Chain A
Amino acid sequence: MWRVTSLILGTLLLLICGSSAHAQGCATILTPHFSVYTSVSRDGKNIYTSVTMQGYASIGSSAGCNMSVATHHVGAENVLNGAAHWSYSTNGCPSCYFSVTNNEQIVGTPGVNYPFTADGVAICSIVGQFFGSSVNGGSLPGCVAPATESTVATKIDSDEPSVTDFTQSFGDTAGDSFDGSNVTESSATGGGVPKDTCYYSGSPYGPGNIVNGSTWTVAANEVAGQHNKWGYDHVGNVPGAVTWYRVNAPAHGHPLPCGFAVYQTMKIHCSSGALVPYTPPLGNLLTGTIELHDVINCRNDMSNNACQTINY
């Protein structure tokens, strides 16, 4: 076992430190200074992979090889989901600097992971391939969901003056753009129990703030042109309910302040039509509190809490 391991290590060292190339009766020392770079970007639906092979070779002493007539070129291989794609540079002098890039893309399906590997090779017209390097790019998830979401209380709703309009922003270290994607809300099933402490059995107003399955398009409608933002999410008790509960809830044994708390799961639409949740299992906590002279509406998002007090 130790011998096998040593053999593998020795082979790796030879590839990394340089090649002593022998072919067609000549020998030369080619020291490669090449690197393979990979990058992955996503836009919420598509996965984009890029492989760049670049660098040069130092030419050492040679025996019987006429390197003045030799040419080199490099190749970059982009293997996304098992499909291999090569790009090659043009031929150049043996000590020239080379760079070649291969770009690929695939439409991601949620729940599917896409293997990504990369290879770079350097080839001499006399001695053949004298450098090769592979990179394992890992497994890329189809349909990327936003990594984070934060909330801002934007304004008091123009139609329902006791309701707050919240705007949400996506954050993603990979720099994904979700503009044009749709997100949908639903009641979270992660253990949070919705409640409304204003509501009493027999009330003519039903329990407050229903998480009802609305859909928003990112960077559209009320937040048109605002990159990676969606909204508004309307949170609060309707004006009639505020007045009703202030006057009637205490007599029914529900003193002020009182309010509702509901849990909201957010899901992003993938190109396949599937909905992928991006909020934690407990969901976002939405609250609307009725006080004697004002209301307080909050949206506790996965990354921050935002509240607005309205003198209503």
Chain B
Amino acid sequence: MLARRNPQLNAHGELIHLLSIEGLPRAILTQILDTAGTFLSVNDRDVKKVPLLRGKSVFNLFFENSTRTRTTFEIAAKRLSADVINLDIAKSSASKGESLLDTIANLSAMHADMFVVRHSESGAPYLIARHCAPHVHVVNAGDGRHAHPTQGLLDMYTIRHYKKSFNELTVAIVGDIVHSRVARSDIHALTTLGVPEIRAVGPKTLVPGDLRDMGVRVCHDMREGVKDADVIIMLRLQNERMSGAMLPSAGEYFKSFGLTEDLLALARPDAIVMHPGPINRGVEIDSRVADGSHSVILPQVTFGIAVRMAVMSILAGNDA
């Protein structure tokens, strides 16, 4: 049997789709982070635009709503001079019964060059990447519980920006790890970049022991989880978990796993606090921490645009 190539890479090992951080070599992750650094400086110019994607059409296909992620992808594509078309598929063809691949075939006939895909089904972006024309690039903007690679990369950019290197860090990821595509992408990226200690922190229902298979240390006690951490990544507690009886109540959760100033004091004095947003104040994070001096939640948003510019421009420069 032929060894199956990673569908994200061409025969030269260059990135042609970004579907998941899992399986990408460290050199590619580093290339994306380095390139993002260049794009960050575009914000300092009078003209916040570079012509790398001039004449290209980027289609934002959001089968699942996400205003923030869609907006940052849109800004990134526009700063690269691409034409951006936003399709709110949740409200259009799919609800009329069109299949995913028919939708893609139609959009390809409109000469799309890149699809940015958000879908509630894990693996949907893979399906699209497999069936689209060879010149078309696919970026996964979050699929089911599986992956959210650009969020993972912007988290890595943020960590590198503040901590300079990954080699000696302790990173605690706190909250609903089992349902979180962000956590999954972060864990793969942190592992590839050489972080020695990654902790998954939360209640047993949301942080099951088999997460140890991913090479993380599982903690069901918040004090133990954040102790001496260099980086604390808080995840949003999704309300539907509460209704699903996996948790007692938001108030109970905050008492056990909400990040407060007292808990933060157990981490390293120069620890940074991250969150992919949107934050639930008083549920997973105390307002004083979210707005405090350790919080880098808003810089994450700024870095996210540069990282997405880097991903799109690297993909556009590589042929299948």
- The answer on A and B forming one complex is no
Spell out B's residues near A (CB within 8 Å): none
